[in-house]
Structure formats: C-alpha cells, structure tokens
Amino acid sequence: MNITAAMIIKRGEEKDLKRCLASIKDHVSRIVAVTSPMSETKDETDILLEEFDADVIYFEWTGDYSEARNISLEAAKGDWIIVIDTDEYVKKWDFKPKEGINVCRILRENEYSDSDMALVNEERLNRLFKNGLFHYEGRVHEQLVPNDRKECETEPVDVVFGHTGYVNAGEMLRKSAVYRDGLLKMLNETPDDPYVCFQIGRTYYVEKDYGNAVIYFEKALNLDPDPDLEYTESLLETYGYALLNHKEPQKAMSLFGVYDDFSRFADYLFLCGLILMNNAHFDEAIAEFENAAKKKTCNVRGVNSFLAYYNCGVIKEVLGDKTAATAYYNKCGDYPPAKDAIERCKTV
C-alpha cells in the first residue's frame, strides 16, 4: 500500500519540521511539501526537505489554505494520502484500512496550557483518505470535501498525532488573529455558513474575548448546524464555556433540554456539571459529573475521571461534608489539586 504524506510548510519552523518528517518517513512512500519559494541560497527548510527526500513544490502564499492543500494533493501518488502539519508528529501508527472506507479519522492529541496547567485535548480528524477522491475548501480551517459531493462514511483508525501548535500562548494568539482575518473574508462570501461563524467565535475564545466569542457562537447555532458534523459538539461545548467565562451562567442553562442528544459525550456532560455548579444546583451537578466519569472516552483528558471527581469533591467540601469530599478527591489519583485538597480536609 503506497501512502503519500501531503504537507504545506511555513519557513522558519525547522525544529518542528525535523521532528515531523522523522516521525512520518517510515510510514509513507513519498512526501510532498508545498512551501514558499527559496531565497537565493538554501535555508534550513530546504536542507531538511532535501535530507528527507521530499518532493518540493514552490508556491507563492496567497492566504488561502485550501489552495495550498489542493496543490499538495494534486502531486500525491499512490493509493492513500495522509495530511500532516509541521507542528504535528506521529506518536502511533497502526493503519489497517477497512473495506469500502475511503476516508479515515486519525486521533490528534493537542497539547496546550491553561492557567499554567498543562492539558491535552483529543480530537478525531479526517486526515487519511484515498487519493483522487477528495479536495479541500475554505480559505482558513479548510475542510475535506468529496469530489462527487456525496456523503461518505468515515472510520476511526489507530493512528495518533501529537500536536504542539497551541503550547506557546503568544504563538497561539498570533495565529488566531491571522485565522480570523481570513475567516471574516469567508463570512462575507458565505454569511450563512455556521462553521465559519463557529471558527470566528473560536478565535475570540482563544484570545479570551468571551463576549465576541458568544456573539459568533450564537450566530452559528442560529444557523442550525448539522448535529452529525464533527464540529457541532465542539461548538456547543465552547459556547457553554464562553458563557461561563463571560459570567453568564444563567444563560448557559439554555443548553439543557435542547441538546440532550449530546449527553452521550463525556465532555458535554462535564460542561453541564459546571453549568449546574455555577448556578448552585449542586446535587444535579454531582450527578452530571458522575455520569461523565462513567464514559470510556473523552476529548479533554480528565473530564471522565479526575477532573469530574475533583469537582464533586469541591462541591462537597464547600457544603461542609469533608468526609464525602475526601472520598471524591481520593478518586482523582495523582492529580495535584486533589492531593492538596485531601490535606486541607484533614484540618479542622
């Protein structure tokens, strides 16, 4: 089985690029790299691409990610294409395509920080697909689209990428501003696209401008996004967190009773627990956190385990039941805030 790795590369990110190329080279037959034209002399990007025997396509950047992606796809050879970015790297590769499946969802583990705490968010992305059947659309946060416009079944596969593009807060803010500029141009062209509104809201959320984030998330929700699309769960959850951060916990209660289909997801149940907690519905909040802890999988690591139990402990501790609080904290394993709380509960 021949697989081409299709990449678009920004110059000046050689450290990440070397890690990426080293991680993917043994799993693919060919690497296609779209990058900006070289200067008069080779820089480290050119040297690395040459070292890993990549087929390089020089492209003058226009600000349109899909245009660059599609150039890389057109140059791909073989049966399958894997799309990987410079700030990503292969952590696990066990690709076994299922008969009749043309596109597969890899797992990406996004490393980031929040309030000086290292966190990991997991998401499934359509990055591995049969050659010749797909193209990208959208100037920013491009989406994979079947050439025949027909819906196609996707299949999760045991391929895991690490992603460190969100670790540096300053770089994340810079990228957010660049993305929003392109997204606003897209919104002028397609004002009724809920996905574009969601992505604009997310740029504001990254910058902690929760008021504008709420505005665009609500625009997206008012456009009735398809609940079966991958981004809709993220839209609902990020909207809920934006409302809480914007000090509108009562408004966040509007999520209840309308989006109950998402209660199958640990992350959504955890959010519901936080909303109830912030509205002083403590018994109901504990029930939601415990339901989240029953789920086997989640996107943000800990919402179906130590983070859920920790919040239950906080509620019990605030209510004065240190025995029950300690029992919940003990379920949190090595989570440092829980260990501190156990010691705190020992004091009279």
Domains of the chain (ranges plus CATH)? Answer: 3-167 (3.90.550.10), 180-247 (1.25.40.10), 254-348 (1.25.40.10)
* Tens digit of each residue's pLDDT (9 = 90 or more) over 208-217: 999 999 999 9
Taking the chain, what is the end-to-end CA distance rounded to the nearest angstrom?
Answer: 66
Q: Is the pLDDT of residue 115 over 60?
A: no
Residue 229, pLDDT score: 74
Sign of CA dihedral 223, 227, 230, 231: positive
Mean pLDDT of 245-260: 92
Percent of the chain with pLDDT over 90: 69
Helices (H), the chain: 14-24, 44-51, 65-74, 169-189, 194-206, 210-222, 230-245, 249-252, 266-278, 282-293, 306-318, 322-330, 336-346
Q: What is the DSSP string of 164-221?
A: EEESSHHHHHHHHHHHHHHHHHHHHH-TT-HHHHHHHHHHHHHTT-HHHHHHHHHHHH
Residue 317, pLDDT score: 97
Residue 281, pLDDT score: 97
Q: Is the pLDDT of residue 117 over 70?
A: no
User: From its phi and psi, is residue 128 left (phi > 0), alpha (psi between -120 and 50) or beta?
Assistant: beta
CA distance 271 to 268: 5
Using pLDDT thresholds of 50, 70 and 90, give the confidence band for residue 73.
very high
Q: Is the pLDDT of residue 280 over 80?
A: yes
Using pLDDT thresholds of 50, 70 and 90, give the confidence band for residue 112.
confident
Q: Is the pLDDT of residue 348 over 90?
A: no
Q: Which of 6-15, 112-121, 312-321 has the lowest mean pLDDT?
A: 112-121
Q: Is the pLDDT of residue 30 over 80?
A: yes
- Does the pTM surpass 0.85? The reply is no
* Tens digit of each residue's pLDDT (9 = 90 or more) over 32-49: 999 998 777 789 999 999
Q: Are 214 and 243 within 8 A, CB to CB?
A: yes
